[in-house]
Structure 1
Amino acid sequence: MSRADVVESARPVSPLWTFGLLRNELTTTFRRWRTLALLAVLAGVPVLVGIAVKIETGDGSSPGGGGGGGGPAFISQITNNGLFLVFTALAATLPFFLPMAIGVVAGDAIAGEANAGTLRYLLVSPAGRTRLLLTKYATVVLFCLAATLVVAVSALTVGALLFPLGDLTTISGTHISFAEGLGRALLIALVVAASLIGVAALGLFVSTLTNSGIAAMATTVGLLITVQILDQIPQLHALQPYFFSHYWLSFADLMREPVYWDDLAKNLGLQALYAAVFGSAAWARFTTKDITA
């Protein structure tokens, strides 16, 4: 038994101290230049999308030049209602930018402390391994929410500045009020944030496997890219429903009338499963790991 484990078992930890630890982790995470840079990139994506759509439709044409090309499903509606830029920006950032940012923060959670030589000092304090791991995961989950809201708020601001706002037409063709549209936009942002908790747990597990923050971040991001490539290979259709990214874009069903809940429920259930499996693996690894840094 290590000295840190002796301290953990001998000294009770008050809830106030736990909240203090979480507050300290949040402050440290959101003050890092790397974190601020990630949030700035995320905030910039809706700006670029909004400006691109505005320039392309300046002559009265529809986005994509009427060619029926690809792109987020809501992009053709942006010129009619700026609120659709929120849905488009979330659809554009969810496959890569958002999970990449989460992977960087989660991958650095434990490995970064070990690399900096501060992990042992954190464990000597009355945190304990389990409490510290839970605090790290809570910090990453709150970053998921913050990153998603940054995209949504940036998109809403740009959409309001460049395009008209008003009542919305859903994917089903029905009309809802602007207030209800805002409510659905908030709900979609929450669903997108919840869609990233599996990635957060995966990144945290990888972070417990190494003492190199860069290696943990690179591995997590590499796994994200690999899974999404595999999710596009038709021959793997039997496995794809179990990939954490498979149902990510199901949030579009919240813009139907009535709402289709099947894929949304599958997505949230899958994320909970990944969080439980990789969270447990991270706990098993971290609580038995020999801390030397």
Structure 2
Amino acid sequence: MFPSPGRGSTLSAEPAGPPQETAVRPGIGWALLGSELSVLFRRLRTWAMLIALAAVPVLIAVAVKLSSRPTAPGRGPLFLDRITQNGLFVAVTALVVCVPLFLPLTVGVVAGDTIAGEANLGTLRYLLLAPAGRIRLLLVKYAGAVAFCFAATATVAASGALAGVVLFPVGPVALLSGDTISVGESALRSLLIAAYITVSLLGLSAIGLLISTFTDVPVGAMAATIVLSVVSQVLDNLPQLEWLHPWLFSHHWLGFADLLRQPISWTSFGENTLLQAGYIAVCGALAYAKFSNKDVLS
């Protein structure tokens, strides 16, 4: 009664399963990335951290503006004494203040939550049911952490620039080398410093991703990532461990002084990028080794 599936039959014309899955796969990664970024930047926690970061340069600018005496050179954070002379230094000073603690703290929260947060909510299992694969999920999660690094540093820089323009005079900037550059070029230097700091945080993001694959408790992964950033900076200040300093991911965090010279020296930028790339490669490989063998029960 039923025709056998011959060469010209309707049944033989149906496409096979594997080709259909392969055709869908290229778009899965982009859809997953879009969903990840949407969820990340719609969270109240994310906006609360960005608002807190934006408040740091405003507080610095207001404190300097209301101060009854000028800041003595060499006192306080770098470039603090130059804010009253030129408001463009507010952004740079705020970045210097945020690098040791505030930026690593917020990045540690986001990076530590990448995998552990999904496991804690019980959504990790459903993400793995999509034909995206574990390695693609790791890449998407890390891309989300990188996007937050960009957003965090840009928030501090933009808020500092705005506060400086509103509260202080703005004009040509005197560089560390003694040269003077225009307002437009100084804004470009501020963007380069923000990019430098963003690159500096990429290694910490990879460490947070790695730690996040070992636990289903996001708070633990966040805390461990933040503690490691503090420990790395403490070790970097111990002269007895000078041999270890070049290998610490925080070693070049404040090494952007070369971007404030004329001409710009890219040595520290290159060394920092190479160091962070090494941490990304090692931590990424370890994260995949752990995550590929992880039993996902939730």
TM-score, normalized by length of structure 1?
0.92
CA shift, 1:126, in A, is: 1.8
Q: For residue 119 of structure 1, what is the aligned residue in structure 2? A: 124
Map 1:1-293 → 2, pairs under 5 A: 11-12=21-22, 13-56=24-67, 59=68, 61-63=69-71, 66=72, 68-69=74-75, 71-293=76-298
CA shift, 1:15, in A, is: 3.0
RMSD: 1.7
8 Å Cα contact 1:8-1:128 kept in structure 2: no
CA shift, 1:90, in A, is: 0.7
8 Å Cα contact 1:171-1:256 kept in structure 2: yes
Determine the C-alpha separation between the residues in 2 that align with 1:77 and 1:251.
17
> SS at the partner of 2:114?
helix
Determine the C-alpha separation between the residues in 2 that align with 1:225 and 1:47.
25
8 Å Cα contact 2:25-2:132 kept in structure 1: no
Determine the C-alpha separation between the residues in 2 that align with 1:30 and 1:282.
24
Determine the C-alpha separation between the residues in 1 that align with 2:245 and 2:91.
27
The C-alpha deviation readout for 1:126-163, integer Å capped at 9, x for no partner, is 22111111000011001100111000111011011111
8 Å Cα contact 2:73-2:81 kept in structure 1: no
Instruction: Output the amino acid matched with 1:11.
Output: E
**Seq. identity, %:** 50
> SS at the partner of 2:263?
coil
Between 14-23 and 126-135, report the one with greater CA deviation.
Answer: 14-23
The C-alpha deviation readout for 1:162-210, integer Å capped at 9, x for no partner, is 1111111101111001111111111111111111110010000000000
Structure 2: 5+ residue runs without aligned partners?
Answer: 1-16
Determine the C-alpha separation between the residues in 2 that align with 1:72 and 1:244.
22
TM-score, normalized by length of structure 2?
0.90
Instruction: Output the amino acid matched with 1:48.
Output: L
Structure of higher CA gyration radius: 2
Determine the C-alpha separation between the residues in 1 that align with 2:217 and 2:259.
40
Structure 1: 5+ residue runs without aligned partners?
Answer: 1-6
